[in-house]
Each structure stands twice: as structure tokens, then as C-alpha cells.
Structure 1
Amino acid sequence: MNFWRKVIAIARKDTLAEMRTRETVSAVLVFTLLVIVIFNFAFGANPGIAKEVASGMLWVTFAFAGVLSLNRSFIVEKEENCLEGLMIAPISREVIYVGKLLASLLVMLIIEIIALPVFALLFNLDVLSIQLVIIIVLTTLGFVAVGTLFSAMAVNTKAR
């Protein structure tokens, strides 16, 4: 098996496990929508201020959602005693990392695809530009890359 087939196998396993339980996606989605609604209550009365701070509100929302979802990535493996199996499997650590990264990226992009129209609707913003989509995807990729690494390091700590 080559590198990418192994990566896809791990990403597929994580994605199927998440779609079966929908534990992370549902919790993060509710949290994300709640944060957007709270920001709407805080800044919605003054549309001028809301438009000025919209990008900050959007990224704060995505960052909190990302931290919540990335935290679950390795914890589920640890709780179900699968992490040891992954570590002794005849695959490199890079394969595990990239597979987890792809699965987490998919979860984050799903959350963002749902949250972005809600954000645009509540704050009356035009968010359907190709430039914004590219920026969101690339920023999310970077965030998930770093977050997956920290998640892997933090899984064995007591202060998760």
C-alpha cells in the first residue's frame, strides 16, 4: 500500500466513525451556531459596527469550533484503546497524522459550509466571493494542520 492509500484509509475510518455517531459534528455545529447568534445579539443592533468586526467574529467562531472538533480527534482513539493499535500498525506516523488531518479538515469544512450562510444571513453580509472561499479553505487547512499536531501531543496529558 502506498502512502496516500494508507492516509485515505485512516481518514475514511475517522470520517465513517464520526458519521456513525455524529457526536463531534452535532456538538460543534450547535456551539458554532450559538456563537453566531450571540454575536448577532451583541452587534446586530448596530449594523455599522457589525460589518466592521464581522471578519473577527467569523474567525473567532471558526477557531472555537476548530478547537472543539480537533480536541475530539485523538481523544476518541484513546478512549476506545485504538491509539495503541494505530501506533503498532505497520504504518508511519506521518500517515496517521495526514489521515487525521484530512478527517478533521472535512469536519471543519462541513461546519464552515453550514455556518457561513447563517452568518451572512444574520449580519446581512455578502460572503460568496471566490477570494473569501479560498482564504477560508487555506486558513482552515493551516489551522487544522497545527491543531492536529497539538491534539496528538495533548492526548496523553491530563489537562485536555
Structure 2
Amino acid sequence: MERRVKINAPLSRVYRVCSDYEHYRDWTGNGIKKCVVQEKRQGFQHILYTTGVFGLTFNFALYWSTAVPNKITFRNPSPMGAVHLLKGEYTFTDLGDGKCSVHFQIIADIRGPIPHFVKIAIARLIVHIALDDLNTYVCSDRCIQNLAKYDKEAGGGALHT
């Protein structure tokens, strides 16, 4: 499943929000119950998640990579529980004038006694969060305030846009 959206916010802000996994819950709603960074190094993070949707709970891990400019990729390192395969990517394009385009795609193989229509609904919800909720958040004053707060907590100035 994939989709593209135009966002009225600078690419630098959108990319920063998408690659700040420790603060994903700022904009992804309450579906992510727990997010634990297992490993973090330049261009790579290994994160364990507990998520819940439609009365179901999923535990899984993702490797996130920012090694390629203007692209963030993710994949699960191995099957975990019902999540057999989960991989995808964000691709960012600068449109100028403080706007950008974000393309998101995801491939998921969720196994177990889960009806197909529920799997489709979960995939659509993930895409909605990844693009629509992202768009709403990065265009908000709350996002700008949060980024300034994170800069201050890190000991830097407000270098976000």
C-alpha cells in the first residue's frame, strides 16, 4: 500500500519529525503503546514497539535507516508474533517555497486468526497516520514548539524550521 501527500512545511522539519523515533507518539496518536530504542547509531536505529488497534496488540521490532538522503527505510529484522513481515519507506521531495512532498509505502504480512478486512483496515490506518497525521502535526504550532523544546533539552538552539 502506498500514497503521496504534499505538505505545507519545509522538508527539513518533516524529515526531522519522521526520523525522530523517540518522539513518534507526539503525532502518531495512541496506537503506539510502547517504543523502546534498542540501538542507536549514525543513520540507524533498532526499535521495539508495542502497538494496539481494533482490540488487537502487536509486538514487533523495526530497523530504521536514514543512510540514503531524503529517504527513510524500515523493516522488521525477523518475524515476531503475528508480524511476519513489515517493511517500507518514506521518500521526501523538496517542492520549494517551504513545501515538500512525502511518498510512503508499506508492505505488511500479518499472520494469525485476523480477518483479511481487519488487515486491510490496519494497513490503511498506518498509511493515514504516516501521511495525514504527519501532515497535520508538522504544520502545527505544537510541532514547532516541541522541536524548540527538544533543541533546548539537547543543549542546542532552536535550529528547526
Shorter-chain TM band: 0.3 to 0.5
Q: Which has the higher helix share?
A: 1
TM-score, normalised with respect to structure 2: 0.32
TM-score, normalised with respect to structure 1: 0.32
Higher gyration radius (CA):
1
* Greater length-normalized contact order (CA 8 Å, ≥ 6 residues apart): 1
